[in-house]
Structure 1
Amino acid sequence: MILTKIEQIDKKRYRIYIEEEFQLLLYVTDIRKHKLEEQMEITPEELEKIYKDIVLRRAKMKAMLLLKSMDYSEKGLRDKLAKLYYPQKAINDALEYVIGYGYIDDERYARNYVRYKKDTQSRKQIEFTLQQKGVCKEYITIAFEEEYSNESNALVRAIIKKIGSLERIEELTVDEKRKVGAYLYRKGFSSQEIHEYISF
C-alpha cells in the first residue's frame, strides 16, 4: 500500500491518504514518530496499528469529551466528529463504542430534549429540531407521548417574551395583535391556540 498524500489541515493536524483514500488524521509529531512520507510503502499491519493506537483512540476520547459537556444525538455527534476531520471509519468505530456503553441513545435524547424545551418552544419547533438532529419519528412520537402535555405553557411564555406580560394583550391595537399573532404562528403555534389568548 502506498501513502499517496499528506495534506495539512492546520498548524498541527494532517490528513493521511493511503491509495488516494483519506485514512488517518495525525499530528505532526505522529508523522515524525512513524517516519511517514509521501510515496512510501506501508503495510496493512502498520496502517492498522497506527489507526487503532492513535486515530481511533483519539476519536473515542473526543467523542467521550464532547458527551461529557453536552448530550448529542447520534447524527449530532457524527457531524461534530466529521467537522473535526476524523476519517469516516474512525467516526463509525467511535460511535459504535459510545453507543455500546449507552452514552448515546436517541430515544433518551428525544425525551430529554422535549422535557427541556416544552415550556419555551412549540411542538412543531421541537419536532423540526429533533428531525434536523437525525432523531427518528418513532422516538420523537414516544418522547411527546411521555413528556408533553399541551402547548399552553410554551405559548404563554412566548407571548410574555414578545410583549412583557399577558395583561398587555388588552392594551395592544388590532394591528399590534396581528403582528404578535403572526410572530407566534411563525414559532409553530396553531391559529386556534393563538386565538385562545389573542383575538383580533
Structure 2
Amino acid sequence: MRKRTKSKSPLDYAFRVLAHKDYTEKEMREKLLSRFSREEADECMEKLHGYGYIDDLKFAENFTASRLNSGYGPYYILPRLKQKGVFVDEGFIENTAHAKDIDIEGIMRDTGKKYLEKKSGEDRIKVRQKTWAFLMRRGFEGRMIDKLIEELFDESNFHSGC
C-alpha cells in the first residue's frame, strides 16, 4: 500500500497533484479548499496563475484536442468542459480543431465506419438507426450525421453485408 504524503503548504499540494494531470481553476480551487483555508487557497491560486500552471483556455484546448482525437464531437465536449468550470462555445471547438489540424468530419466518418464494422450482418434499417444514435451520443451534429449516414449506406460505398 502506498504511503500518503501530507503536504505542508497549499502550493506543495498543488504542485504534487498537478504533476499527475492538469486541472481547471474550478477543480484546483475545490481540491485546495478541501484541505486548506479559503485564504490559503486564494493565495495559492494566485501563485499558480502567476506561474502559468492554471490556464483554463489552455486546458480547454488540450481537452478538446484529446476528446476529438478519441472520436468525440463538439456536443460531447462542451458540457464536459462546462462541468469543469470552463465556458466556451462551439466556435472555440472548431477553432481549436483548425489550429491543431484536426478534421472533425473525418473523425466522425472514421468513428462511424468503426461502429459499422461491428454491426455487419444486422438488419440494414436498424443499423442505420443505431449508427445515427451512436454518433449523436458521441456528440456530433445531426445534419452532419445524416449526411454521413447517406454516404456510408450508399450501395456503392457500403460493403458490410447489411
Question: Who is 2:147 aligned against?
Answer: 196
Deviations 1:73-94 (A, max 9, x none): 1112112333x43322222221
- The secondary structure found in structure 2 opposite 1:196 is helix
Note the 1:107-126 alignment, pairs <5 A: 107-119=57-69, 120-126=71-77
Question: Who is 1:180 aligned against?
Answer: 131
Q: TM-score, normalised by structure 2?
A: 0.71
Question: Who is 1:61 aligned against?
Answer: 12
Q: TM-score, normalised by structure 1?
A: 0.59
Q: How far apart in 2 are the matches of 1:67 and 1:141?
A: 28
Tell me, which stretches of 5 or more residues in structure 1 are unaligned?
A: 1-11, 13-26, 28-54
RMSD: 3.0
- After TM superposition, the structure 1 stretch with the greater mean CA deviation from structure 2, 181-190 or 67-76, is 181-190
Match for residue 156 of structure 1 among 104, 109, 121: 109
Q: Is the 8 A contact 1:114 1:144 kept in 2?
A: no
- The secondary structure found in structure 1 opposite 2:22 is coil
Computing the radius of gyration over CA atoms, which structure comes out larger, 1 or 2?
1
Structure 1 residue 67: Cα displacement? 1.2
Whose strand proportion is higher, 1 or 2? 1
Runs of 4 or more consecutive aligned structure 1 residues displaced over 4 Å after TM superposition:
140-143, 168-172
Kindly provide the amino acid, as one letter, of the partner of residue 162 in structure 1.
Y
| Corresponding residue pairs, total | 143
Match for residue 55 of structure 2 among 94, 102, 105: 105
Greater relative contact order (Cα < 8 A, sep 6+): 2
Query: Measured at CA, do residues 172 and 94 of structure 1 come closer, stay the same or move farther in structure 2, by a change above 3 Å?
Result: farther
Structure 1 residue 144: Cα displacement? 3.5
